[in-house]
Amino acid sequence: MKKLFNIISVSSLFILNTLNSFAQDNKIQVPEGITIKIVNNQFQPSIIEVPANLSFKLIIENTDSTIEEFESDDLKKEKLIQAGKSITIPIKGLDRGEYKFYGDFHQKSAQGKIVVK
């Protein structure tokens, strides 16, 4: 039974890797979620790397006891996140480069960026 489970796990990973590779090679947009947490008025992780031209969902969880506003002039996104809640922001495929974001209510500490390669 354990061997069967291992074979199924390895096969599943192979299929997922093949699909992701195919999607990237053919510029197909595959919705994937990337989670960022707000902890002590800071984004964790503060730097995210994604491939160019791949759409994804940015999921932001506010673990703090105060409201925060995710804001990015580069991405043209702005959204409030209540304390203890999460939001999802769809991001369309981006060109290579860096896209900065910040927490509007804690601009000195809540800083981050998306690096697109």
pLDDT digit string, tens, across residues 52-106: 999 999 999 999 999 999 999 999 999 999 999 999 999 999 999 999 999 999 9
Residue 40 pLDDT > 90: yes
| Stretch (H or E) spanning 64 | none
Question: pLDDT-based confidence at 48, cuts 50/70/90?
Answer: very high
- Collapsing DSSP states into helix, strand and coil, what is residue 65? coil
Q: What is the pLDDT of residue 5?
A: 40
Tokens of 19: 């699909």
Among the listed residues 62, 59, 80, 61, the one whose alpha carbon sits nearest the alpha carbon of residue 70: 80
Residue 13 pLDDT > 90: no
Residue recorded with tokens 């759409």: 55
